[in-house]
Amino acid sequence: METIIREFFWWLMNPSMLIILLIFIGMGFLFLFKNPKRARSFILSACSLVLFFGIIPTGLWILENLENRFPQPTEIPTDTTGIILLGGSFDRETSAARNTPAYNLAAGRFIEFIAFARKYPNLKRVFSGGGRPITVKNAILKSEAELTKETLESIGFDTTDMIFEGESVNTLENARKTKELVKPIPSQKWVLMTSAFHMPRSVGLFRKAGWNVIPYPVDYHTPGGYELYFFIGLKDGLTSWHYAIWEWASMIQNYLFERSDDLYPGPEN
């Protein structure tokens, strides 16, 4: 039920879906009910949304706010125990179909983790991520943990002492299942690495699960300056809004269901 509520809220706030819905309603009034005046109002509303999201960088500003929420530390405490990398860098369906690792928008997490782990070789290393159940015909679907392990080893990265959690299907389970596997003590400090726009939601869930995390955002996708400019690019506007609204829908759900103590987790919380 919770997933249905979140999906509905996200669908309701997704301009792509709303634009399509308005167009279909307009076409219905035009061809089925022979009401061109009503049809015109719906189609013009859809066109207005296209212009709004294709010109005004609203989605970009919201995404920038998420990415700016936690600054990236220049150094980490000397008594830090380890680092946790959250999954989300692989396109598992394409990876299975092509029988080779395929990456998505969040691939920067994976790259930054390698550089960080080499800079701090004494830290314990943990990867958390399994992936949602999906079906791929005539292909073996691997978890993100399996793909990560294989890819790291293929470039000569030592995974001997690295812990891989490959059963979680979302960020909530990342926090809980990784804790069950690692069994950290409250005094330990753990670096949490994920995409910057995903960090506020992740921190809220990990704090609630009992982790003492040091947020280390990576994989930025916005300039971060809230620039007041206009541009022509519907794809960029809709993509930014898509990711920003999904994060906010998830944070609202987590707060309402008491999975996070803060609606919008930040450094001061």
Q: What is the 3-state secondary structure (H, E, C) of the chain?
A: CHHHHHHHHHHHHCHHHHHHHHHHHHHHHHHCCCCHHHHHHHHHHHHHHHHHHHHCCHHHHHHHHHHHCCCCCCCCCCCEEEEEEECCCECHHHHHHHCCCCECCCHHHHHHHHHHHHHCCCCEEEEECCCCCCCCCCCCCCCHHHHHHHHHHHCCCCCCCCEEECCCCCHHHHHHHHHHHHCCCCCCEEEEEEEHHHHHHHHHHHHHHCCCEEEEEECCCCCCCCCCCCCCCHHHHHHHHHHHHHHHHHHHHHHHCCCCCCCCCCCCC
Residue 139 pLDDT exceeds 90: no
Quick one: tokens of 87? 């999954």
User: If we measure between CA atoms, which residue out of 26, 23, 49 comes closest to residue 38?
Assistant: 26
* Residue whose pair of structure tokens reads 């069950």 in the numeric block: 180
What fold, for 71-224?
Rossmann fold (3.40.50)
Average confidence (pLDDT) over 27-39: 93
User: If we measure between CA atoms, which residue out of 142, 150, 183 comes closest to residue 166?
Assistant: 142
Residue 110 pLDDT exceeds 80: yes
* Residue whose pair of structure tokens reads 């958390």 in the numeric block: 128
Average confidence (pLDDT) over 174-182: 97
Confidence band for 263, pLDDT divided at 50, 70 and 90: very high
Count of Cβ atoms closer than 10 Å to residue 159 Cβ: 15
Count of Cβ atoms closer than 10 Å to residue 238 Cβ: 19
Average confidence (pLDDT) over 21-49: 93
What is the identity of the amino acid at 129? Answer: G
User: If we measure between CA atoms, which residue out of 204, 145, 206 comes closest to residue 176?
Assistant: 206
The model's pTM = 0.89
For residues 29 and 35, is the Cβ–Cβ distance under 8 A?
yes
| CA atoms of 90 and 108, how far apart (whole Å) | 11
Average confidence (pLDDT) over 62-91: 96
Average confidence (pLDDT) over 186-198: 97
Confidence band for 3, pLDDT divided at 50, 70 and 90: low
Residue 184: the pLDDT is 96
Share of the chain above pLDDT 70, in %: 93
For residues 197 and 67, is the Cβ–Cβ distance under 8 A?
yes
Residue 153 pLDDT exceeds 70: yes
User: If we measure between CA atoms, which residue out of 143, 147, 110 comes closest to residue 125?
Assistant: 110
Residue 5: the pLDDT is 66
Confidence band for 15, pLDDT divided at 50, 70 and 90: confident
Residue 67 pLDDT exceeds 90: yes
> What average pLDDT is seen over the chain?
91
Average confidence (pLDDT) over 99-126: 95
For 199-258, how does the pLDDT look when each residue is reduced to its tens digit (9 = 90+)? Answer: 999 999 999 999 999 999 999 999 998 877 656 567 888 888 889 988 998 999 899 999
Confidence band for 130, pLDDT divided at 50, 70 and 90: very high
